[in-house]
Structure formats: structure tokens, C-alpha cells
Structure 1
Amino acid sequence: MTMRPAHVQTGTNNRFTRLRRCLLAAALSLPLPALAAAPQACGTVIVPPGVGLGTPPASVTSLNPFLISSAYNGEASSLMYYGLLYINRDHKIVWPRSLATKIDVSKNNTVFTVTMKPWKWSDGRPVTTRDVKFTYDLIKRLGPTYPGYNSGGVPNLIKSFDILGPETFSVTLKHPVNPDWFELLGLAQFVPYPAHAWGKYTINQMWRHQSDPAFFKVVDGPYQLVKFKLGRFIEFAPNPTYQGHKSQIRRFIMTFLHSSGSEIEGMQSGTLDVSNLPFSLWNAVAKLKDVRRIKMTPNFGFQFIQLNYKNPAVPFFHDVRVRQAMADAINQEQVVHVLFHDASKPEYGPIPVIPSTFLPPSEKAGKYPIGYDPAKARKLLDEAGWKPGPDGIREKNGKKLAFTLLTPSGGTTSTLWTEIQQQDLRAVGIDMKIRQVTFNQLMALDYRPLTWEAMAFGWSLGSFPSDAAQLGSKGSYNQEGYNDKKMDELLAAVTTTPGLSALYAYEKYAVEQQPIIFQNDTGVVVLARKGLRGIRKFISPTGGWSPQYLHWTTPDCASQVADNVAPSSP
């Protein structure tokens, strides 16, 4: 799972976050001029971090996926390292785009034997199972400080990791599992990293060098790092030794912006080639010349309000009736229509609505026990002993039903959405104050439970929608301190029971309990310069990037305006 800025669309990729999910759409079937029939490396493409995720623009702060996990950092690091597994939007492994060529599973679902294709690092050395073992060993060394610790059962479920040859390894588990769950959420984490280059460093040294270009010289992905200016930009060039689809552009630059409006300005001025279309600026695209608007597949995840069960200032979050009332008070239908132009659907549980692959039949029909119902919300609060005070805010034992929500700054739509929620909650007698901080501040505060009461986040799932990382009592992302024995039992059953029955039971209980206040994802729309093609292969629903599929169709692609912008200078 990956934490992301609130009220935005993003994804997770098997290559750079811990439990990844779907991806790959068909390429755009647009007619190209004859020149494009003979691909050639030319031109530059400049984008802000977060493209295809719908996230407010921000900065890349680290390139080491073991240390700091965020959608922005993951987009950058994934360009340099080739993933063991590549998962499409149907939640299936795409073998031609994976380092692995097959997975053999024992009859008792405890031994997974993986065969890899021949592959090379940029310094000429072969990528081997020793590099995969290095990844596994590093996860064990990092322990709970690893962002995806125990996601997909890695590493605690693993009994042994055995190298059977340079291109074959096996993982033996402590007990039988649901094979789909372990492959998509566990094995997908085993991205090989260069043991011969990284193995000489301690963890403290890795931490100090996580933004040092010299540390990341040995790569096996489509791109290599050229420059990294913290707070400004990061520049990549094609990796000449990459054995996959060759890049058709000669430079790929992520320029760091810090407001949604700057994306539109960049598209208007020509200093950006691809960006998100902020929903708050939906009509502004009509004024942009030579720019296309492309609707993308929504994130396989959800938005949510994280409730702090560890903070004694907000003990009422422990009452399920209060949580249900909060969920019933918020009008998701209105938000989806007014703010997100019907690009998503209401969502009240941990299993994403789009695609509906894993939803129980009743929820496919749109029937939830939770939904917009202010009258029901008021009744629940009455039953919980919270009575309206003189100002309309409910009180109990001299305490007001009030809390402060921390939400990331920089997004107009995010702010509007939060304010709508604030009004909806106040209408039933709940006072939610709003405090905006940067996303990086939000992530830092999340690990200090006495400094916050509630936070707004987005969440990206792996291809199998089990959320033990956040909702399990020992989950690696359970900073809020949620602890429910039945939830742990249901989550455990999801990982061991083939089929979908256990998943349905987990979903039903999570919807009823609202351990976090589940909310709809947003969908995302991307803006692209008219002469740039390959957008749908560049951006996957998992949040991963494949800019090697981008290409300019204009005859003078090498002289695109983007070639002369500031980031190309030292």
C-alpha cells in the first residue's frame, strides 16, 4: 500500500511500493504520420511528479524505495529498476513486461518457485537471484522501518528464501496461502537491486545517500539518472543497456511544482508536456491550444479520513456509532458530481468500486449499509449520548464532539472537498476544524500520534485488495492504532482462503465498522501536448511510469520547446 495526498487519485506500482496493483491500458489508437513508423530517440518530455495520479504537484525527496515511500519518490525510482512482476488493470501478471517468466506453486500453496529472464545491470553484470535475495535480506534488516513491512506476508510469513540457480529462486512459506494474494502483494515486492553496488553500504549510509545520484549509477530499468536538484528537478536519460522497449525520447525531466495552477500555466507556456488537469480548473483547458484532455482509469484505492485511536483527546472515535454517523453524514454523491465531474463513484469500504472485480454482489448493485443519510447519522449520535448544544455542536459529559483534521495543502479541489465535509458533519452536530500542512509534514506527523487527531489521505492498494497494512492491528501503516480482533481474523482469512468468500466477509465488516472513514476516489484526467503520443502506455493505473513508450510525432521533434527550458541547465 502507499499513502498519498488526500482527495487525489494515484496508484501503486509493483515496482516501487509494497503491494501493488493493476496497470496497463491499450495504447492510443490514433493515426500517426509516416515519420513515426520509424521510431527514433529525440526530444524531451517534461512532467511534474504525480502525473496520472491526480495528485497535487510536489517534490521527489528520495530515490531509495526501501526508506521513504511516497507516490512521487516511487515514480522516479521505478524508472531505474525493472520490476519482478508487472500487473495489469485486470489484476493479472503481464509476463512480457515482467522480469519473472513464470511462477510455479506447490500443491499445498506453500512453495513459490520463480524463474527470471536473462537481464543485465548497466555496468554489464547479470541480474541474478542474488540481487533478489539482497532485496529480501534488506527488508528483513530494516524490519518495521521498511515502509511495506509485512505487506503480503513479507518478510514474516517467509520460512526460507532459496537460490536454486542464477535465474531461479524459491520462497517457502510458514503456512498455506491464497496464491493470488501472495503473488500480487508479496512476490511483487522482490524487485532486484544491485547487490554488488549496494551491498557494501550500511543502512545509515544508504539513508545519507538516498538522494545522491552517484549511489544510483548501476540500474537495469529503462532510464538512468543524470541530475537531481533537490527542490527543483530530476533529469533522466535512456539507459543504453536496457533490454526492454527502447526509449524514443532522449530526456525525461520531472520538474517540481507546488500548486495545481502551476500545472495549467506550464501547459499554457509550453514548459510542461504532460500534466494532471486539476478538477478545480476543469474549464481552463478550453483555453489551451494544442493540448489534449485524456480521461484515465481511476486509482485502485480510496480516499479516507484517518482517525487517531491513540490520542486521548478524541476518545469518541472508539465508538462505532460515531464513526458510522460520520460516514452517513458526508454526501459523496454530491462531491463526485460537483467536484469530480462523475469521474468516480461513492465508496464506503476498502474494496475499490472501479473496477468492480472484487466487490460483493450487493455492492456491485450500489447497496451499502452505510450511505448519505443525515437523519440516520443524527439518530446514531443520539443513541451514543451526544446531544446538540446551544451552538448546534453535540456535547457529552461536558465535552464537545469536535476534532481537527490535518489535510495536505496545495490542492484547490482538496480544500473544497474538505470544506464540504466540514459542512456535512456540522449539519449533524460534529465540529471538524481544518488545518492544512504540506504532504511531507503530514507524513512526518503521522508517526507522532499525540500531535494530531485526524488526517486526510488517499490509499492505493495492491492488485489483491487486502488492507492488512492499514487495518490490521500490527499493520505497517497502522499509525492510528486501530485494533480489532475480528478484523484481524477476517484479514487473516483473506490471505489463506482461495476465492472471494473471505474477501466479501472482510468487506462487509469493514463497511459496518468504518475503522477509517472510507470515501470515493476521484478519477483523473491528464493533459498532453498535441504532438506527444503513448500516454496510456506511459501512465499505468498502478501509478508506475513507462516514459520509454512516449514519442513525438512532429517532424521537428528534436526542437520541441521543452528542449530549451531551465531544468536542462546544471
Structure 2
Amino acid sequence: MKRTGTRTTVILGAALAGSMLLAACGSTSSATPQSSTTKKGGTAYYAEAAGANPNYILPLTSGAEFSIANLAQFQILMYRPLYFFGQGDKAEINYNLSIGNAPVYSNNDKTVTITLKKYQWSDGQPVTSSDVIFWMNLLKANKVDWGAYVPGDFPDNVVSYSAPNASTVVFHLNQSYSPTWFTYNELSQITPLPLAWDTTSLSTPLPNPSAKSIADMTTARAQAVYKFLNAQAQDLSTYASSPIWSVVDGPWKLASFSSAGHAVFVPNTKYSGPVKPSLSQFVELPFTSDSAEFNVLRAGNNAVTYGYLPNSDASQKSYVESIGYKVEPWTEFGFSYWNMNFNNPTYGAVFKQLYIRQALQHLVDQPAWITSFLHGDAVPNYSPVPVTPSNPFADAASRTDHYPYSTSAAKNLLTSHGWKMVNGVMTCESPGSSATECGAGISKGLALNLNLEYYSGSNSLTEEMTAYASAAKQAGINVILSSANGNTVFADEAPCTPSQPSCKWEMILAGTWEYSPDNYPTGGELFASGAGSNYGNYQSSEANALIAATHTSSDPQAALDAYQNFMAKELPDIYRPLPDAAISLISNKLGGVTQNPYLDITPEDWYFKG
């Protein structure tokens, strides 16, 4: 459920595919076997998505920073989650790269017991069950600041948790849940945190509290610690020098970091996981636009080892192959859309009308956009449940275009509900709640002048948005376009209440949703009332009930079908084509690369060929 600027477009989370049953999950490493011609050392340069550089280091991340750039391609390099997802390019749990062994469910699936492997922090302390308890304490006390929070779900559905010994954690749940859902969507949210972070100052050395003090941590203490850590995470200039962020358990640690997102990583020599880095350095490079990235890559000189091909430069595939790059599409498990603000004080009442949302969806010409702007590197997208990569979850409703492109259909929906064209813009002529009137809360004379903000840096997205505004004009909707860099757009789109100044936004396209850490595509983090990533402030009791059923039903596919069938027609947001996460350009000199469908990067697997 992460958002980010993907490397050709902006995206948001990743997925389950094929065999997701817990018993069927493999335990092989994601690393590619290295040949006898492998070189040790060297520096690999990775191109960040244009305009979406990492800007938040604390794993307990709010919705405003809950992005691929921060979680999957920055934090995870240093701070390993309890469970790692992605077996190479397969969308499934990877127990080999997980700190936790496979969870054991008992007591009619109301008790979960987890044992930990032997990992250690870079300060020499072991990773223990107390580090999991520390995460839980901070999460419980600061849950509204967690981008994955859904009221009633994790951690609300955990009645109690304990650490009977240093390697065991036990969770007692408030009812029986599907083990697959709870593992893939709830336990997936946990990142053990070092006890050295249990502090509210930068005293040196940092305190090393006992397991007992962590177990007895009060809510007030947990809130004070989070407040301090969050404040430190806002100071990007200290990321590489801070005694806090230098305590890591992942394969990498920061050597330097700039506020622009230029990150230099070096191996963590104390890393306990199964795949140790071969590279001597891994560098993430920020770019302000797709064109800027591609200009640096095509200039050669190995300035970019692992970059991407912008959609607008699709004709350059043969050229980049000729200068030493492999062209590899990167497919994610997610969906792409833009949000309407149901709490906007002026237009929230408009967006709450289904016929309005239907009219807005009729203006998206998915086949034409895929052909003309995305050069075939995308698939149609009609619901929150992805149809690609191939998976057992999407049903016929998610493969059907319920609102095909038609400016006349959009216009007819408006005129049949009390709207009239005035100076080229549809204006409410018949206020009221009957079937032929504008709808509840819409005043006479309100004109459809709608602002649509989108992330900058992608030529193909600019083309999509320009085409959308042109189609909307034909239907009498004045769509006013603006753009900003990815981090600004993410911040602008934060959930809000109508009285807040921040709630003035109307429509925002921040990208694609990638299903992680909600790896089972039930949508609770996005569409449940009060969810931390419910950016559009969508509210529906029917959607809430359908989402809840996917968590507990004895027939999970039937419950998922009911959910996706409703959401495909309900339009809680406006669906657009799902682009490939990237058309990756990988140097022929670089080996060990696999493209994780959750968009995590694992440069510890990479090596230079001899």
C-alpha cells in the first residue's frame, strides 16, 4: 500500500501472486548465484524516480511520506521488516530473508506465535523479541501517525502481546482471522526497532534500556519517544551522522545523504542475513525529471548502472541496448488512479454523487492512452484488484470497463441530473436530492471548475492529463491542471476534515498503489473509513462491510469477489491505465538483479561481472 514515484510513473504498493498459501511459500534466497567471474567491490548507481526522492527514514511512517521511495527503496535497506516479501520476481513471502520464522496459529486462529532468527544490530546488540514489542508499543500509542493504520485492524485487533523469551513473540487476537490475511496484511507491518531508540534526547551514548522497561513502556513514554524520533526524521541533513539512524540491522548503512535524496550506502559489516553485499557502495541518484535521468544514462560513462527508460523515449530501446544496457520491464502488483476529495468544503458534495464519478470516469480513454502515451507499456485498470502480474484474485469485474470512454455519456449524466451548460461549464440548475436534481449539498449555480494536481517529471503523464482536461471540456467540466514534485503531491493529498485549510484540494494524482505492506488486495488501508491512507476521505458502510468480510470469511475468494465487484462500479477514485513500474535499463556489467513485484530493491544481491 505504498505510494511513490515509480521510475516511469508514480506508484503506490505490491502483491500476492500464484502460490500465496502459507504452507506453499518457499524458503529459497532471492540472490542470483554468483559466477566465478564475479568481481568483489565496485559502486552501483541507481536512478531514483523523477521527483520522488527519499525524505523520511523512520520506519513508523505517516501517510504523507508512505511511499516506495521511502519504504521499499530506502528504509528496507537499513531496517529489515519482520517479514520480507518477494521471492526474486515472484510475489510471495520470503521466509529466508525474513527475521521471523513462519508464524504458528493456534486457539482457533486467535493466537499467533512467532520465533525470531539470530540477527544483530550494528551496535552489537541482538535483535530480540523486545525489539518487536518496542515497535508494537510505539505503534499502539501513535497509530494515527502510521500510514497503514485502519481503525479496527492492526494494531486494534491485537488484544495483547508478550515476549516470553528473547526469541519468541506471542499475539492474542480479538477474534479468529484468516492466517493468510493476518500474515500478509497485519504481521507484514512490523519492523523490529532497536532498543537504543528508546530515548527522547541525543545524549551520548544513547541509553540501552532493558527488555523489562520496554515491556512496561507507558503510552505517555511511547508518545514522547515517537515525537522525538519523528522530529529527528524531519532533519534530513543528519541521516548519515545521527547516532540514532546509524543503528541498523539491514545489509546497508548510510555513508552520506543530501536533502535532494542523493544517498550513498556502504555495507553493514555486522549484517546477519543470508546475503551479504558484494558491492563496496550503492548510490541512489535523484532526478527532477525523466528526461534528466535519461540524458545522464545515454551519455554513458557508467554514471547510471540501473536506470529506466521514460515512456516518451520508448523508441530508444535499440540505442540503449547498443550502449550496454538490458531492457527489462518491471511489473508490480498494484493499480493506478487519482483521488477525489470527498471532504472538500466546496466540491465534496459533488464527488459524493455516483453519477458525477461515473461522468469523470467516462472521460478516461484507457486504450488510447496506453497506445499513444504509454507506448504499450501498461494494462487497463478498472478496479483496485490488479489483473497483472497473473494472479488468482482478479475476477471478471476487474477485467471489465464499466465506464468506457465517452464524452457524450459524461455530458448526458450531468444534464439528466440538473446541470446546464453556462459559458461552456456545467452549472447546477436544479439543486435537490431527487433523481433528476444535482444531489444533496450541491447549491444552485455551482459550476464544475475542478482542480487536478499531478506529480511532475513524467512526459507521458502530462500527456494523459492534458488529454483528460480536453475530453472533460467537451463534457462541460473545466479541469484545471497543475503539477508538483512527487513529495509535494503526497503531502498535499493527506487525509483531512472539511474545516482544515489543507482540505482545499479537489483531485490529486499521486500515482499507483503498490500492495505492500497490505500484500493481500482487500483495500482496507485505502478505502475503510478513517484508514491512514484513505487520502480521498472516502466513506461507505457497504465498502467497510465488504472489506471486513475479506478478513474473516471462510470463503475468501467469494468475499474478495464481492468487494472488487462493488469497487469497480462504485468508483471511490478514478481509474487510469496501470503502467509498468518501470522499463528498467540495467547495465550488462551488473549481475544478480531481480525485479521484486513489491518494488523492494536488494542491491546486496548485485555484483559486477568480471
TM-score scaled by length of structure 1: 0.87
CA distance in 2, matches of 1:24, 1:398: 62
2:445 corresponds to 1:398 = yes
Which amino acid in the other structure matches residue 291 of structure 2?
A: G
What's the counterpart of residue 109 of structure 1?
109
More deviation in 265-274 or 390-399?
390-399
Q: What does 1:161-176 correspond to in 2, within 5 Å? A: 161-176=161-176
The counterpart of 2:58, out of the listed 60, 64, 72, is: 64
Shift of 1:521: 1.4
Which amino acid in the other structure matches residue 55 of structure 2?
A: T
The counterpart of 2:83, out of the listed 82, 85, 95, is: 85
Q: Deviations over 1:298-324 (max 9, x none)?
A: 222122121111113213111101101
Q: Deviations over 1:513-549 (max 9, x none)?
A: 101112221002101222112221xx41112110011
Q: Among all aligned residue pairs of Structure 1 and Structure 2, give the percentage whose two residues are the same amino acid.
A: 23
Which amino acid in the other structure matches residue 299 of structure 1?
A: E
CA distance in 1, matches of 2:521, 2:258: 36
Q: What does 1:423-442 correspond to in 2, within 5 Å? A: 423-442=470-489
What's the counterpart of residue 313 of structure 2?
281
Gaps of 5+ in 1: 15-21, 51-55, 555-570
Contact 2:14/2:514, CA 8 A, preserved across alignment: no
CA distance in 2, matches of 1:259, 1:163: 48
CA distance in 2, matches of 1:528, 1:257: 17
2:70 corresponds to 1:73 = yes
What's the counterpart of residue 557 of structure 1?
none
Which amino acid in the other structure matches residue 521 of structure 1?
A: L
CA distance in 1, matches of 2:145, 2:166: 29
- Sort the Cα spacing of 1:517 and 1:69 in 2 relative to 1 into closer, same or farther, 3 A: same
The counterpart of 2:368, out of the listed 334, 352, 357, is: 334
- Sort the Cα spacing of 1:9 and 1:545 in 2 relative to 1 into closer, same or farther, 3 A: same
CA distance in 2, matches of 1:140, 1:234: 31
CA distance in 1, matches of 2:394, 2:525: 22
What's the counterpart of residue 36 of structure 2?
37
What's the counterpart of residue 559 of structure 1?
none
Shift of 1:328: 2.0
Shift of 1:90: 5.3
CA distance in 2, matches of 1:2, 1:152: 20
TM-score scaled by length of structure 2: 0.82
SS for the counterpart of 2:4 is: strand
- Sort the Cα spacing of 1:217 and 1:403 in 2 relative to 1 into closer, same or farther, 3 A: same
More deviation in 380-389 or 348-357?
380-389
Shift of 1:216: 1.4
2:304 corresponds to 1:272 = yes
The counterpart of 1:369, out of the listed 381, 396, 402, is: 402
Q: Deviations over 1:270-314 (max 9, x none)?
A: 311111211112223443443324333422212212111111321
Shift of 1:392: 6.2
- Sort the Cα spacing of 1:219 and 1:402 in 2 relative to 1 into closer, same or farther, 3 A: same
What's the counterpart of residue 593 of structure 2?
535
Which amino acid in the other structure matches residue 460 of structure 1?
A: E
What's the counterpart of residue 228 of structure 1?
257
- Sort the Cα spacing of 1:222 and 1:526 in 2 relative to 1 into closer, same or farther, 3 A: same
CA distance in 1, matches of 2:123, 2:37: 29
- Sort the Cα spacing of 1:283 and 1:242 in 2 relative to 1 into closer, same or farther, 3 A: same
Shift of 1:197: 4.0
- Sort the Cα spacing of 1:306 and 1:190 in 2 relative to 1 into closer, same or farther, 3 A: same
Q: Deviations over 1:472-512 (max 9, x none)?
A: 11111224322111111111111111421111111111111
Contact 2:81/2:98, CA 8 A, preserved across alignment: yes
What's the counterpart of residue 49 of structure 1?
48
Shift of 1:199: 4.6
Which amino acid in the other structure matches residue 81 of structure 1?
A: Y
Contact 1:349/1:518, CA 8 A, preserved across alignment: yes
Which amino acid in the other structure matches residue 282 of structure 2?
A: F
Q: Deviations over 1:33-79 (max 9, x none)?
A: xxx426443110111223xxxxx243322211224422212211111
2:337 corresponds to 1:304 = yes
CA distance in 1, matches of 2:60, 2:586: 32
What's the counterpart of residue 514 of structure 2?
460
Q: What does 1:100-139 correspond to in 2, within 5 Å? A: 100-139=100-139
CA distance in 2, matches of 1:200, 1:208: 10
Shift of 1:131: 0.5
Contact 1:306/1:517, CA 8 A, preserved across alignment: yes
SS for the counterpart of 2:85 is: coil
CA distance in 1, matches of 2:13, 2:311: 21
More deviation in 375-384 or 424-433?
375-384
2:315 corresponds to 1:262 = no
2:502 corresponds to 1:504 = no
- Sort the Cα spacing of 1:437 and 1:10 in 2 relative to 1 into closer, same or farther, 3 A: closer
SS for the counterpart of 1:2 is: coil
2:247 corresponds to 1:218 = yes
Shift of 1:374: 3.8
Gaps of 5+ in 2: 16-24, 202-224, 430-443, 495-500
Contact 1:24/1:541, CA 8 A, preserved across alignment: no
For this pair of structures, how many residues does the alignment match?
535
The counterpart of 2:418, out of the listed 374, 385, 404, is: 385
More deviation in 382-391 or 493-502?
382-391
What's the counterpart of residue 567 of structure 1?
none
Shift of 1:173: 1.2
CA distance in 1, matches of 2:142, 2:467: 41
The counterpart of 2:388, out of the listed 354, 374, 378, is: 354
- Sort the Cα spacing of 1:242 and 1:154 in 2 relative to 1 into closer, same or farther, 3 A: same
What's the counterpart of residue 522 of structure 1?
579
Contact 2:419/2:426, CA 8 A, preserved across alignment: no
Contact 2:324/2:587, CA 8 A, preserved across alignment: yes
More deviation in 2-11 or 64-73?
2-11
Which amino acid in the other structure matches residue 519 of structure 1?
A: R
Shift of 1:350: 0.9
CA distance in 2, matches of 1:465, 1:551: 34
Which amino acid in the other structure matches residue 340 of structure 1?
A: L
Contact 1:194/1:218, CA 8 A, preserved across alignment: yes
SS for the counterpart of 1:162 is: strand
CA distance in 2, matches of 1:302, 1:486: 21
SS for the counterpart of 1:355 is: coil
Q: Deviations over 1:367-402 (max 9, x none)?
A: 343333444333322332223345265654333222
CA distance in 2, matches of 1:46, 1:452: 36
Contact 1:122/1:218, CA 8 A, preserved across alignment: yes
Q: What does 1:12-27 correspond to in 2, within 5 Å? A: 12=13
SS for the counterpart of 2:473 is: helix
- Sort the Cα spacing of 1:219 and 1:465 in 2 relative to 1 into closer, same or farther, 3 A: same
CA distance in 2, matches of 1:151, 1:532: 44
Contact 1:470/1:476, CA 8 A, preserved across alignment: yes
- Sort the Cα spacing of 1:473 and 1:225 in 2 relative to 1 into closer, same or farther, 3 A: same
What's the counterpart of residue 278 of structure 2?
248
CA distance in 1, matches of 2:335, 2:328: 18
More deviation in 503-512 or 68-77?
68-77
Shift of 1:411: 1.8
2:372 corresponds to 1:325 = no
Shift of 1:159: 0.5
Which amino acid in the other structure matches residue 352 of structure 1?
A: P
The counterpart of 2:503, out of the listed 450, 453, 478, is: 450
What's the counterpart of residue 204 of structure 1?
227
SS for the counterpart of 1:527 is: strand
CA distance in 1, matches of 2:584, 2:514: 19
Which amino acid in the other structure matches residue 307 of structure 2?
A: S
CA distance in 1, matches of 2:29, 2:367: 30
CA distance in 1, matches of 2:198, 2:295: 40
What's the counterpart of residue 558 of structure 1?
none
Q: Deviations over 1:132-182 (max 9, x none)?
A: 111111112222022222389221111111212211111111122222111
